[in-house]
């Protein structure tokens, strides 16, 4: 006899393992309207406390994946590889990474998200390019990936609709911070892209979802195990997210900075993060023999201009003004500038990424509700990064705002995010760990 919904919730509540078919049925019935929201919410809370083993997580991931359609990219030759980041402040890696990897011969079908909470979203940053469209129909998406090598769009109605409904329930029932639920949510959307391989950037630190290395490692391990069991090549890289990545936090200014990377003049930490993740993608996509080989190929794609050319083609194919790629300064930022000055002489020892991210949201660069619009031109530019020497009164950051009066309070918050000391802080590596199957 099949167990009822109530019996399945009770079994998980009591710490039992459910059969894969039971999880598939529960999800199928939920999508079809046979399981009420309050029952799903109770099940999610039971999972929050009791967890799901790998087989159960694969079953949940696949049920969520098949609640919608899986994009068919079989007409695009070669292994398709994407990257997913768990989210950070100043993380504009996807924008430079996709054209660099595509220029090296690995097609990148990328379905990205919008900013929510203190972390920004790739779609909001890309839409700072005049005319750039992220709501490309699925058929055009596949064509652009084939013709250009990369295309970056937003989640469509067809992609893992069960995730959308379940995420909305998790959001209001305090069940977001559950590793198996995060894994199923991320992987169901990524597997729907029709990819062969996935590189995960699991951020760890003050500005990340996962604050401790232990929790980031647990999430990365499970993402790799479940993704591999679902038949994909998966690698996770743990990267530090204590201070913002690069110097720009906002939308237009972040896109500018990502374009700077393509021109060979990006900030060191952003370039390093892009190369580390891109090299893994080239290895998964069969275009590099090793991570070192992949790094060399990506550097060559910057040096010979091929990454810039892919970006120009991608922007044009998605309706945007491709002229901004050659001249990123064309991306307009707000004209009122407020300077933040060092409160003492010494060294910058830290910049609280969470505080900067939250200030960005308060400025209008991010959103607190999913239906809000963002202002592409506002943002923060960091002039002094951790480890750099300062004299009292030096400019350490600038805010680009629409009106000076409200900007004053925000600049105090940015000032408060800077920490100073008499000596430079210990230089910690960007990459904290690497997890493979």
Q: What single string gives the DSSP state of each residue in 267-313?
A: -HHHHHHHHHHHHHHHHHTTS-SSHHHHHHHHHHHHHTSHHHHHHHH
- Work out how close the CB of 181 gets to ligand URA at its nearest, in angstroms, rounded to a whole number: 6
Residue nearest to ligand URA (CB): 185
Q: Is residue 94 flagged as an active site residue?
A: no
Q: Is residue 392 flagged as an active site residue?
A: no
- Work out how close the CB of 191 gets to ligand URA at its nearest, in angstroms, rounded to a whole number: 12
- 212 vs 345 by CB, closer to ligand URA: 212
From the candidates 12, 66, 80, 84, which is the catalytic residue? Answer: 84
Q: How far apart are CA 123 and CA 98, in angstroms?
A: 13
135-143, 179-187, 211-219, 291-299 -> range binding ligand URA (CB under 6 A) = 179-187
- Work out how close the CB of 143 gets to ligand URA at its nearest, in angstroms, rounded to a whole number: 26
Q: Is residue 66 flagged as an active site residue?
A: no
* 3 state DSSP class of 127: coil
- 186 vs 220 by CB, closer to ligand URA: 186
Beta strand 150-154 pairing with 108-112: parallel
Q: How far apart are CA 347 and CA 414, in angstroms?
A: 17
Q: How far apart are CA 314 and CA 96, in angstroms?
A: 12
- Work out how close the CB of 213 gets to ligand URA at its nearest, in angstroms, rounded to a whole number: 18
Site membership for ligand URA, residue 182 (CB under 6 A): yes
From the candidates 82, 163, 260, 375, which is the catalytic residue? Answer: 163
Task: Give residues with Cβ within 8 angstroms of 195, minimum separation 6.
Answer: 73, 80, 81, 82, 109, 232
177-185, 233-241, 364-372, 418-426 -> range binding ligand URA (CB under 6 A) = 177-185
Of the candidates 218, 248, 209, 190, the residue with the CA atom closest to the CA atom of residue 383: 248
Q: Is residue 163 flagged as an active site residue?
A: yes
- Work out how close the CB of 16 gets to ligand URA at its nearest, in angstroms, rounded to a whole number: 24
- 47 vs 331 by CB, closer to ligand URA: 47
Q: How far apart are CA 291 and CA 295, in angstroms?
A: 6
Instruction: Specify the DSSP element, H or E, that contains 201.
Output: strand 197-204
Query: Is residue 262 a contact partner of residue 419, using CB atoms and an 8 Å limit?
Result: no
Strand order in the sheet with 233-240: 81-85, 197-204, 233-240, 431-436
- 203 vs 297 by CB, closer to ligand URA: 203
Site for ligand URA (CB under 6 A): which residue of 185, 274, 295, 318? 185
- Work out how close the CB of 62 gets to ligand URA at its nearest, in angstroms, rounded to a whole number: 16
Site membership for ligand URA, residue 186 (CB under 6 A): yes
From the candidates 80, 114, 170, 413, which is the catalytic residue? Answer: 170
Q: Which two tokens stand for residue 230?
A: 């679902």
Q: How far apart are CA 118 and CA 362, in angstroms?
A: 10
- Work out how close the CB of 167 gets to ligand URA at its nearest, in angstroms, rounded to a whole number: 6
From the candidates 25, 125, 189, 217, which is the catalytic residue? Answer: 189
| CA atoms within 13 A of residue 9's CA, in its CB half-sphere | 14
Q: Is residue 369 flagged as an active site residue?
A: no
From the candidates 185, 188, 306, 411, which is the catalytic residue? Answer: 185
Of the candidates 369, 361, 366, the residue with the CA atom closest to the CA atom of residue 410: 361
Per-residue x/- track, 262-301, ligand URA (CB under 6 A): ----------------------------------------
97-105, 147-155, 181-189, 358-366 -> range binding ligand URA (CB under 6 A) = 181-189
R_g over Cα of the chain: 22
Catalytic positions, written as ranges: 84, 163, 170, 185, 189
Give residues in contact with ligand URA (CB under 6 A).
181-182, 185-186
């Amino acid at each position: 006899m099949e167990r009822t919904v109530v019996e399945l919730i009770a079994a998980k509540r009591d710490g039992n393992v459910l059969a894969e078919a039971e999880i598939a049925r529960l999800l199928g019935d939920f999508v079809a309207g046979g399981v009420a929201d309050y029952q799903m919410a109770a099940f999610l809370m039971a999972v929050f406390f009791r967890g799901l083993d790998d087989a159960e997580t694969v079953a949940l991931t696949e049920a969520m994946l098949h609640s919608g359609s899986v994009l068919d990219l079989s007409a695009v030759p070669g292994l398709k590889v994407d990257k997913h980041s768990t989210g950070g402040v100043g993380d504009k890696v996807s924008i430079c990474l996709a054209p660099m990897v595509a220029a090296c011969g690995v097609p990148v079908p990328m379905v990205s998200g919008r900013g929510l909470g203190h972390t920004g979203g790739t779609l909001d940053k890309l839409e700072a390019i005049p005319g750039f469209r992220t709501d490309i129909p699925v058929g055009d998406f596949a064509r652009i990936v084939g013709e250009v090598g990369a295309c970056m769009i937003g989640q469509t109605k067809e992609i893992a609709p069960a995730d959308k409904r379940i995420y909305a329930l998790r959001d209001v029932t305090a069940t977001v911070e559950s590793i198996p639920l995060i894994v199923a949510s991320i992987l169901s959307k990524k597997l729907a892209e029709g990819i062969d391989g996935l590189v995960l950037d699991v951020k760890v630190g003050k500005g990340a979802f996962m604050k401790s290395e232990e929790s980031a490692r647990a999430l990365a391990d499970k993402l790799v195990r479940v993704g591999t069991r679902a038949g994909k090549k998966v690698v996770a890289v743990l990267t530090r997210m204590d201070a913002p990545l690069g110097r720009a936090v906002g939308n237009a200014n972040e896109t500018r900075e990502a374009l700077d990377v393509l021109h060979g003049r990006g900030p060191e930490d952003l370039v390093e993060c892009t190369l580390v993740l891109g090299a893994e993608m080239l290895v998964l996509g069969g275009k590099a023999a090793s991570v070192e080989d992949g790094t060399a190929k990506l550097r060559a794609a910057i040096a010979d201009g091929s990454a810039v050319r892919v970006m120009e083609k991608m922007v044009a194919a998605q309706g945007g003004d491709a002229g901004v790629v050659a001249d990123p300064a064309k991306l307009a930022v707000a004209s009122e500038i407020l300077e933040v000055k060092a409160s003492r002489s010494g060294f910058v020892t830290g910049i609280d990424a969470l505080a900067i991210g939250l200030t960005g949201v308060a400025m209008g660069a991010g959103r607190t509700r999913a239906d809000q619009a963002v202002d592409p031109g506002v943002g923060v530019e960091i002039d002094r990064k951790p480890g750099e020497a300062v004299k009292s009164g030096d400019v350490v950051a600038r805010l680009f705002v629409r009106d000076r009066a409200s900007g004053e309070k925000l600049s105090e918050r940015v000032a408060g995010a800077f920490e100073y000391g008499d000596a430079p802080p210990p230089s910690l590596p960007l990459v904290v760990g690497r997890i493979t199957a």
